[in-house]
Structure 1
C-alpha cells in the first residue's frame, strides 16, 4: 500500500464529498451523479445496488422529486486512506435531514465507504456503500457475550 499524504489530494477529496452534498441539497440528480464515475457501483442502505452513472442520476432524481424533496445531507468524512496515488478509500458518517425535520434522525445515521479514483487529473467516486449504524439488539449482545472467551472457572481446569 502506498501512503500519500499530499494535502492537495486530501483537500480535493474533501471538496468532492462536499460537492456531492451540495448537489443533493440542490435536488439535482444529474449533478449528484457527476460526482461518480460512469461505471459506479452504488449500494444503498437497504442493499439495493445501482450500477452506472445514468442509473444513479435517474434513481436520485426520482428521490429528489419525491420522498427526499428538500432533504439535506449531514455528515463528514472521518478518514481518507490512499491505496496509491490515484485510488483512495474514504469513510464518512452522516444522515439525511428530511424537509420537516430540524435535525437528522439519530436512528437513520449511516456509515459510508467510498472508493475514489483519479482519472485525467480529477477525482470521482467509483464505489459507494451505505450502511445504517445500528446498535446490536438483545439477541446479538447475548451471542457476542457467549462467543467471547472469558475467564474460565477453576472447576473447568
Structure 2
C-alpha cells in the first residue's frame, strides 16, 4: 500500500481522537460510513452515523466529558487498495487524569477498526472494542495455568 494511503488512514484515526477530545459526537460520527457498525466495549451495537452520534452524545456530555483517546500501539494493514484493517491497544484517559500519558489498566482495550476508501475519504466501516484483560493474567488464569511441582 502507498505511504499516502497509510497517512490518510492515520489522519482519519487522528480525527477520531480529536473529535473525541472535543466532545463532538456529530463530527465523530461523520468519520464513519453511513452504514457503519460500531460495537462498544460493553457489547452495545450502534449502526449508522445517527446511532453512533446519539450513543456518544451523552457520554461526551457526561462521564467522558474532557476525556481523550490514547493509543498505546497500532498496526495497520491493507488487504486491498480500498480497505484498511487497524488493530490497536488504546484506552480513555479521563479528564481528572490529565498528567497521565497512557490509559489505566482498567480502561485499556484492544480494538479492530476497518476503514474503507469512500471517494477521497477513509471512513470507519466497522469498529469492535474489547476490554484488554488477558486471561493468563487474571487470578483464575494464573491458578489454572501454573505448573504442578
Q: TM-score, normalised by structure 1?
A: 0.84
Deviations 1:58-112 (A, max 9, x none): 1111110011111111115511111111011101111111111132322211111
Task: Give the Å deviation of 1:142.
Answer: 4.5
Deviations 1:98-150 (A, max 9, x none): 1111323222111110000001121101100111111322333444569xxxx
Unaligned runs of 5+ in 1: 147-157
Partners of 1:134 and 1:77 lie apart in 2 by 16
- 1:18 partner SS: helix
Q: TM-score, normalised by structure 2?
A: 0.88
Q: Which of the pair has more CA radius of gyration?
A: 1
Unaligned runs of 5+ in 2: none
Partners of 2:145 and 2:7 lie apart in 1 by 39
Aligned length: 142
Please say which of residues 92-101 and 136-145 is displaced more in the overlay. Answer: 136-145
Residues 78-157 of structure 1 mapped to structure 2, 5 A cutoff: 78-101=74-97, 102-103=99-100, 104-136=103-135, 137-143=138-144
Deviations 1:9-61 (A, max 9, x none): 00000111000000011110000111100111101111111111100011111
Compute the RMSD of aligned alpha carbons: 1.6
Runs of 4+ in 1 over 6 A off after TM superposition: none
Aligned to 1:66: 62
Asked whether the equivalents of residues 45 and 132 of structure 1 are also in contact (C-alpha less than 8 Å), the reply is yes
